[in-house]
Amino acid sequence: MKLKKATIFVPLTILATIAILAFSNDNRKYQLSRQISIFNAIVKELDLFYVDTIQPKKMIDKGIESMLKNLDPYTEYYSEEHADELKMLTTGKYAGIGSVIRYHDKKKTTVLTDPYEGLPAAKAGLRAGDLILSIDGKDIHQLSTDSVSDMLRGVPGTKLTLEIERPGEEKPRIVKLERESIALPAISYYGMHNGNIGFIQLESFTENCAKNMRRAVIELKQAGATGFIIDLRGNGGGLLSEAVDIVNLFVPKGLTIVTTKGKIKQANTSYKTSKEPIDTESPLVILVDGHSASAAEIVAGSLQDLDRAVVVGSRTYGKGLVQTTRQLPGGGYLKLTTSKYYIPSGRCIQALDYSHMIDDGKSTRIADSLTTVFHTAGGREVRDGGGIRPDVEPKEEELSTLLLYLLQDIALFDYATNYRLAHDSIAPADKFTISDKEYEEFKEYLKSTKFNYDIQSLKALEQLKKMLEFEGYTGITKDEIASLEKKLQANLDYSLNHFEKHIREIVESEIIARYYGRTGSIIYSLREDDDIKEACDIIADAKRYKKILTVVADENK
């Protein structure tokens, strides 16, 4: 009898579980349907009875935006008129004039900062530093760069007229251009460095970037490269499939690189290498930083997990989520997170937990103490959560407040523009330097612009003064605080001399960009970049390279 009771109990338990799940599912569907009905009713009531005429599209778009804010920042709605933005993210293509722009806060208008070679702006003779006064007769002063960007973009083959003010010229120029389909290069530069090292800077993971990477690696090997540095710093990611194909260039066919897991069956996919590699032996270093995310982390993390590359730099962003796009009625799209991805060791490197928002609406970061240890193919310890931790982290020099302000201020940009007007040519990018006299001229120019910056220690002192006053110590510390306050007052001359080395590098890079574009700036950066120097040292030292990728034996065992 006991056996029969047990036999009867098991299926009854299963039936009860199924009933609870069915009820839970039906209840969720009911709640969803009910809330949608309420939303529809509110919109209809507002349309019928609100005192003023409502704008349905604007109102509902705002509602959608607010709703999605409760999820992760990668789930976004693109209305029909902004669908091109999504296309550009995945393909790197758009139709326009082919130039980077920024707002010139002193001129109160938009300025061209980087016309790409061979594209409409550059072909029309436009330069970095040219100010846009009007587009097709419409004054653009005070307009945001987003608004101006929308005006510059359009259907390929359509024409537009720009009124341009070039520094050093009295009269504005009228320039006519024809919009073209622009494909931003995923690889901003590749070339030989330090004699036998192939250097590749990959900006994004857009369509066909793996093919371009393959071509670059082959050309560099033909040029004599016996080791490679791939720079993924600042690379925010892109297409997962392109990342897998890039990893495939350096590892054998048939390896599982990424596994995705989501709510529905279709979101669960494995991505394997499907082609024969180009190079599985040459030493390989991947450069990363805190802005390396998503597909960039897949490449760095997978090559680390497979012990195929040494990762150098600082910890990556930590985006372990995968997005897909769904077309919506009316021509819009929803880009939504459908799964998490796991790299060869089995780890997911997602750093932020969006399922548990804190009171101010921000997500919580997974503490290092709560991460789990995984192992590479050779047995090295790696961890999930919190991004990719580099194998080697060169000591970073923290930028001073002055340098941070200088990089953002328009004064540096204007100085380089004026330098370009005064000099027809300069030395090659890898050799150019400004003279001591020119540095003194830059210092005087900067002071003439009323350049100002905040000293963080002075702000901290203000907080200390408030605390001393609160605790009643103002009287006995008055003289010391006054003396310290005097010493901490922003002294531009002192700072320009103290940080001369770094300021020179910033100024020289900005000037080089006027003559040789972004390629020139990258070539220049190879001279002083600490991460690149470390990468070169690792590649040159075969024993060190092998040691980094090998499990260290525990002497206590």
- Is 479 marked active-site? no
How far is 461 from 481, CA to CA, in rounded Å?
Answer: 8
Assess whether 305 carries a catalytic annotation.
yes
Distance CA 434, CA 412 (A): 14
Phi and psi dihedrals of 202, rounded to 5?
-105, 120
Return the structure tokens found at 75: 């789930």
Q: If you write DSSP's letter for every residue of 146-159 in order, what string do you get?
A: HHHHHHH--STT-E
Catalytic residue, from 114, 245, 279, 305: name it: 305
Q: Which residue in the list 204, 231, 314, 319 is annotated as catalytic?
A: 319
Burial 437-459 (b: 16+ CB within 10 A, else e): ebbeebbebbeeeebebebeeee
Crossing angle of the two packed helices 410-422 and 401-408, in degrees rounded to 10 = 60
- CA dist 83 → 59, 78, 331 (Å): 19, 6, 8
CA gap 446, 415 in Å, rounded: 8
Between the CA of residue 494 and those of 9, 396, 487, 499, what are the distances in Å? 84, 23, 11, 9
Tokens representing residue 478 in the block: 């008055």
Is 448 an active-site residue? no
Beta bridge partners of 310: 285
Pairing of strands 284-288, 227-231: parallel
- Backbone region of residue 73 per phi and psi (left: phi > 0; alpha: psi in -120 to 50; beta: other values): alpha
Parallel, antiparallel or unpaired: strands 109-115 and 93-96: unpaired
* Exposure on the CB side of residue 509, measured as CA atoms within 13 A: 18
Contact 547, 204 (CB under 8 A): no
Kind plus residue range of the DSSP H or E element containing 311: strand 310-313
Torsion sign (Cα): 511, 512, 513, 515: positive
Which of the following is catalytic: 204, 282, 294, 509? 294
Q: Which residues have a catalytic role annotated? A: 294, 305, 319
